[in-house]
Amino acid sequence: MSAFGGAALNKAASGQMRRGLANVCAYADAINRHGSKLSTGKKLKLAEVTISILDCLAHRRSGYGGHLAFVIMLAMPLFPHRYIGRALLACFAILPLSCARFGAPNPANSPAASGPTVTTAAGALEGRRDGAVRIFKGVPYASPPVGEARWRPPVSLPQWSGVKQAMEFGPACTQPTPGGTSIYANDLRPSSEDCLTLNIWAPAAAARAPVLVWIHGGALQTGSSKESLYDGTKLAAHGLVVVSINYRLGVLGYLAHPELSAESRLGISGNYGLLDQIEALRWIKRNIDAFGGDPSNLTIAGESAGALSVMYLMASPDARGLFAKAIAQSAYMISTPELKQGRFGAPAAEEAGAKLAAALHAPNIAALRAMDPQALTDAAAAAYFAPFGVVDGHILPRQLVEVFDRGEQARVPLLAGFNSGEIRSLVFLAPPAPASPAEYERIIRDRYGNLADEFLRLYPSNNLRESILATTRDALYGWTAQRLVAEQTTLGQPSFLYLFDHGYPNADAAGLKGFHASELPFVFGTLTQTPPHWPKIPATPEEATLSAAMLDYWSSFARNAQPRAANEPNWPAYGSQRAYMDFTAAPHPSLDPFPGMYALHEEAVCRRRSSGTLAWNWNVGVISPPLSPARGHCGVSDF
């Protein structure tokens, strides 16, 4: 016993059970005072044991005590058991006491903390561990955009001191008060205007691992990085460092207004949500190496409005160099408002913002900034404010179609696709069917002119409901996906197209085969983490196998721009043959989805662009404006 400090340790470790915590604290102090008498190996082991005891005390009621006690028990053979035993018994004897009462360090702020800790350029973080994955939640990447910072570009967060706890998701960004029972409905509260946080899932042994940054969907109006569908654990288990981000939504994220433009040194406004995404990417580039991620191998990915955001980022000069690859799931390359002038059927974004302020009885931006964020968001949604990116000549220099036509987008490999039943869960985007097949054909011939024969071949009158759903699907999602991979292929970038045409009993019974976003649980491996009203996915080997394949393909693309999956067919690049991967019950390579679809909608959009006054979005089929004959560079040579 003399080698351990003799009587001092004995005295510190002894005592009554009712004074157990004080004994443990004194035990740690005795080790500190008499450590010079110990060998180096025993010093380290005693320090480890003492820290474990303190950590046991700090977490006893949280369920960690048993695990940490196991660490102590492993060390016991090195020491006389009665001393360690007394300390261990003291740990489990204590209920409401804490070492802080006796002047010892607070375990929550000491090296005894049990979660994984990383030190980044932004500061130190403590997270949680789930098996071999480290998880850090609610990490702030920019200063809160509140008060006078509302409707201003995000500001980099100063470096913090100490260890920031990163164990819980941050609040969702303020969005319309939830209601309804759609399959997407999910109560994401609490929400807040102070919401610029991100979440990280990293393999425990990650080193220069590929990074996937997920941008959530929700029409730029709703959604959050904390949705359980986007849990990154399975993708991290495939070797990726996964990051999901929040960004400002709705009126708080996309309002343009003359006063706001006057405040800007560039004379622009709007796009605050997009600027948040860019700031998040900058934070990730600066800090992700601390989590084992490779900042030079970063893939941006998103679905629906998240995929729209991916296209905005590909088009934005401010985002250039912040990512190396892109994934766009169910993107929609629609016309978007321009800041100063009305064009393509939309008013100037500044004009729309001024009209919204008038509708809310706000005489100026100061009055709008004084409004409660939730009340403002709900009022703007009630006034039909539609958030979109703004063509301002800087953040978004041109319409997306023009950026891609000119080859000015990011020159990066791309994976893009769409779902066969996109509109089955978004029927509000589709027009009602005409009274009869004959009326349907009459309207189509009136609206599409010399394109009508091809239109009716693709979307015949013998099944009006299916033809109307397919028309809107293709005009929004199918055309966009194929256009994206075609444009990137032209730039010499590896590009891969998919169609998700998978059904399962509960979805099929509800008429929702391949519905919008239905690929997400398969991509993330979150088959049991869907929203409450989502058609339940059966726990069968078939569904698990398909999810495993998609996890492999997506993670492989993020790793080296080549989507590959174990025991599954190779995914061919789009190329000149218009190859794609068809996800049905299993993945099947194929050629040219819905032959003729892309050419038809490309021609229709070209004619709308030539007019200068017609939008391109879901105003298609029987609600399409009459299209002018081909002129200029538009033609029908593909038909």
Cα separation, 12 vs 94, in Å, equals 17
Which residue, 298, 517, 497, is CA-closest to 410?
298
Q: Are 518 and 477 in contact (CB under 8 A)?
A: no
Which one from 224, 304, 330, 495 is the annotated catalytic residue?
A: 304
Report the C-alpha dihedral over residues 499, 500, 502, 503, rounded to 10 degrees: -110
Q: Are 327 and 301 in contact (CB under 8 A)?
A: yes
| Burial group, residue 282, by CB count within 10 angstroms (0-12, 13-18, 19+) | middle
Which one from 422, 487, 519, 603 is the annotated catalytic residue?
A: 422
374's tokens: 């939730």
DSSP 102: G
Q: How many CB atoms lie within 10 A of CB 58?
A: 23
3-state SS class at 462: coil
* DSSP annotation string for 60-108: GGGT-HHHHHHHHHHHGGGS-HHHHHHHHHHHHH-SS--GGGGTPPPGG
Backbone angles phi, psi at 447, to 5 degrees: -85, -35
81's tokens: 């058991």
Which one from 216, 238, 516, 601 is the annotated catalytic residue?
A: 516
Single-letter code of the amino acid located at 92: F
Tell me the H-state helices in 449-532: 452-458, 464-473, 479-490, 505-509, 520-524
Cα separation, 428 vs 417, in Å, equals 22
Cα separation, 538 vs 535, in Å, equals 9
Q: Cis ω on the peptide bond leading into residue 587 (within 30° of 0)?
A: no
Residues 6 or more apart whose CB falls under 8 angstroms from that of 66 comprise none
DSSP β-ladder status, 587-591 and 579-583: antiparallel
**422 annotated active-site:** yes
**516 annotated active-site:** yes
DSSP β-ladder status, 172-173 and 191-192: parallel
Cα separation, 191 vs 376, in Å, equals 14
Q: How many CB atoms lie within 10 A of CB 633?
A: 9
Rg of the Cα atoms in the chain: 29
Which letter, b or e, does each residue of 166-192 get, where b requires 16 or more Cβ atoms within 10 Å of its Cβ?
beebbbbbbbbeeeeeebbebebeebb
Which residue, 349, 196, 355, 361, is CA-closest to 267?
349
Q: Are 410 and 491 in contact (CB under 8 A)?
A: no
- Residues labelled as active-site residues: 304, 422, 516
